[in-house]
Amino acid sequence: MKSYWQAFWTLLFPRICLGCQQTLAEGEDLLCTTCRFDLPVTRSWQTGDSVVADKFAGRIPVASAHAYLKFRKGGKVQHLLHQLKYNNEPEVGALLGRLFAVELKAAGLTADLLLPVPLHESRQRQRGYNQSDSIAEGLSQVLEIPWSNQLLKKETATASQTRKTRWERVQNVANVFTVTQPEFIQNQRIALIDDVVTTGSTLEACAQVLLEKGCREVHIWTLATAL
């Protein structure tokens, strides 16, 4: 039971849903019940129709490729990802990671190791955290698969991918990722974790270096995909 002061503090500073900006009810955390039910889930792990897998077809072999949510400009998912990346709300990534993990687990999808797509150290210092770490942590809590942000590194700072063409994106991330301890990925089934996939150039570059260093297979699991 809440103490008097806890109740008084909540009255003065109510907890707000990060999806719709309405006051959260007792027992709700970060997202209200309505927003959770309204999330535009892809369900590609059930239908087999994966927009994410299509992005890598003919480019690099992936064992599975799924995004939890559909990303549309101006939509709820874009707003949540903005909170995650730029408003110091990494717990959003952990929450959505846990929700995604429930679906992956029910579908029987698994891996040996989760690796979040790394930020360059300069970008991570600026932001204070890597949003993909929090997603991997949330997935790990439900799937009971270990995760690490120490094995895959981004050695070179690159310009933003946002307004680049597909070819420019490929060139921008070529040869910028390295595996720090190849012995830990040998013959492992590795799931790459990221917030959103657009052209897939960054994930492709990460997957390529992992396969070159001896992992058995690569899965790609992201919170969202741009349609």
- pLDDT tens-digit map of 106-141: 999 999 999 999 998 888 988 899 999 999 999 999
Phi, psi of 170 (to 5 degrees): -60, -45
SS3 178: strand
Same domain, 18 and 73: no
- Residue 155 · residue 176 · CB < 8 Å: yes
**Per-residue CA distances from 155 to 159, 173, 215 (Å):** 13, 10, 20
24 pLDDT tier (thresholds 50, 70, 90): confident
Alpha-carbon span 86 to 135, nearest angstrom: 15
Strand partners, 191: 114, 219
Regarding whether 147 and 106 lie in a shared domain, the answer is yes
pLDDT digits (tens, 9 = 90+) for 170-190: 455 557 899 999 999 999 999
Please give the pLDDT value at position 3: 55
State how many domains the chain has: 2
Average pLDDT over residues 45-59: 90
Q: What percent of the chain clears pLDDT 70, i.e. is strictly above it?
A: 85
Q: Kindly state whether residues 13 and 75 are assigned to the same domain.
A: no
Using CB atoms within 10 Å of the CB of residue 51, give its burial: 0 to 12 exposed, 13 to 18 middle, 19+ buried.
middle
- Residues 80, 164, single domain; the answer is yes
Residues 79 and 30 reside in one and the same domain: no
* Same-domain pairing of 25 and 95: no
- Percentage above 90 pLDDT, the chain: 67
Here the tokens at position 182 are 């190849």
Looking at residue 12, its pLDDT comes to 47
Predicted TM-score (pTM) of this structure? 0.87
Asked if residues 203 and 169 have their Cβ atoms less than 8 Å apart, the reply is no
Q: Are the C-beta atoms of residues 49 and 204 closer than 8 Å to each other?
A: no
One domain for residues 21 and 59: no
Structural contact between residues 158 and 206, judged by C-beta atoms closer than 8 angstroms: no
What residues make up the domain containing 86?
39-226
What is the CATH classification number for the domain harbouring 207?
3.40.50.2020
